[in-house]
Amino acid sequence: MKRSVTAGNGVEIPQIGFGIYKIKQGAGEDFDKTILAAIQAGYRHFDTARIYGNEAALGSAIDRSKIPREQFFLTSKAWTTELGYTRTRKAFEQSCRKLGTNVLDMYLIHFAGPGYVEAWKAIEELYEEGRIRVIGVANFEIEHLERLMQQAQIPPMLNQIETHPEFQQSPLRAYMERHHILHEAWAPLGQGSRTLLENKELTAIAAAHDCTTAQIILAWHLHRGTIVIPKSSHPVRMRENIQSVNIVLTPGELERIAQLDTKTRYSANPTGFQIHPLFVQTMKWFVR
């Protein structure tokens, strides 16, 4: 796989990454097998976060692959309880230590929680120090981006948001394009929704290309210039997902998929995102 997207500072980001949210945590055999299978399938872009609890296991698996670190593109994120200048710098250092690296290819603010403007100042500073190659955010709506850019010295280079054919994020995407913010999709397959994967239009397009519906959805993302981080623990699906770079959709097929937008989210709306206090305390222990 060679397809990549160029950030505003010239850094190349592999357009298909591998998401490891909810993949079995810890450094056990199952996690190692999944990561090594993904590496063997051709993935070099891996997306994790402090809150996932698997940074150390990912770093260990990459080290055991014997592939040089510079061939990988690693992303992590500062969780909501780690926002603020000092907390974010500390969280970044902890992520680096667990991943076994001194430089992160991309670092994001996970949600626009209290203190995200101060957290961004820390991230800008780390970027200027050469510790982060691409800086960005995740789950930010237009209002969050507006407030951040009013006070930022360096605008966010990327926004990672829920995106799939049933939730195409058109207004936010248009705003991001105007401000040169790259679009990265989490849940690019709608979190495996049967409604989406069994959609008649998508299955018909898949039949015409002799491929899976998931491959058609990923090809649609790629045609739009979106970075995707699909997740799978199955080696066959890993290979199928990465092979979607070879699928060329016609303008007519792209238009048919464009008509599938029902504004359906499969996760919480970030604008009203609230964290229960007990969950906050649990996560402070979990990610320390």
Beta strand 18-19 with 45-47 is parallel
What is the C-alpha separation between 257 and 218, in angstroms, rounded? 12
Q: Which residue has the tokens 């997902």?
A: 241
List, in order, residues 6 or more apart from 284 with CB less than 8 Å away.
81
Sorted by sequence, the CB contacts under 8 Å of residue 2 that are 6+ apart come out as none
Reported in sequence order, the residue ranges of the chain that DSSP labels E, i.e. its strands, are 4-6, 12-14, 18-19, 45-47, 73-78, 104-109, 132-138, 158-162, 182-186, 227-228
List, as own/partner pairs, every contact residues 58-66 make where C-beta atoms lie below 8 angstroms and the sequence separation is at least 24, other chains included.
58/20, 58/99, 59/98, 59/99, 59/100, 59/101, 60/27, 60/32, 60/100, 61/31, 61/32, 61/35, 61/36, 62/35, 62/99, 62/100, 63/100, 64/32, 64/36, 65/35, 65/36, 65/39
Active site residue 52: yes
Q: Give me the catalytic one of 21, 43, 52, 107.
A: 52
Q: Decide: residue 251, CB within 10 A, 0-12 exposed, 13-18 middle, 19+ buried.
A: exposed
- Ligand-binding annotation for 221, yes or no, is no
Q: What is the DSSP code (8-state) at residue 16?
A: B
**Which two three-digit tokens encode residue 48?**
């994790």
Binding residues for substrate: 110
Which of the residues are catalytic?
52
